[in-house]
Amino acid sequence: MEGLLALTSGVLYAAGIYLMLRRRLAQLIIGLGLLSNGTNLLIFTAGGLTRARPPVLPDGAPALVEPYADPVPQALVLTAIVIGFGLTAFSLVLAHRVHATVGTDDVDDVGREG
């Protein structure tokens, strides 16, 4: 399972960086989104995967018994998802404004003196 998730995360990174190197703003934003999701998956995987053992104390038990899933990576990923969502929304608005101002979504044309 770790191998599969690591591979998926790697593919997301590669696709994200490839898209960020393209000239169109829309692709750049999709690239940023893929990159942030690849990172989330990486945090989740690197934190260690434990299946079907939630870190919940059963009734009457004094303490959790190993192995149980680590809740911290999930909290980290949740935070990162929220931040990533906000930033993607902002980038979309910015791209829209760039398009409205400059009239193109080609990164090279944005920099050209109009």
- 35 binds another protein, rule: CB under 8 A: yes
Count the alpha carbons within 13 Å of 79 in the hemisphere toward its beta carbon: 6
Nearer to another protein, 53 or 70 (CB): 70
**What distance in Å separates the CA atoms of residue 12 and residue 4, rounded to the nearest whole number?**
12
Out of 46, 57, 65, 78, the only residue in the binding site for another protein (CB under 8 A) is 46
Site string for another protein, 11-30 (x = CB under 8 A): ---------x----x--x--
Integer CA distances (angstroms), 12 to 42, 57, 77, 82, in order: 10, 35, 16, 18
Closest alpha carbon to 71 in 40, 42, 48: 48
Question: Interface residues with another protein (CB under 8 A)?
Answer: 20, 25, 28, 32, 35-36, 39, 42-48, 70, 72-73, 76, 79-80, 83, 86-87, 90-91, 94-95, 97-98, 100-102, 107, 110-111, 114
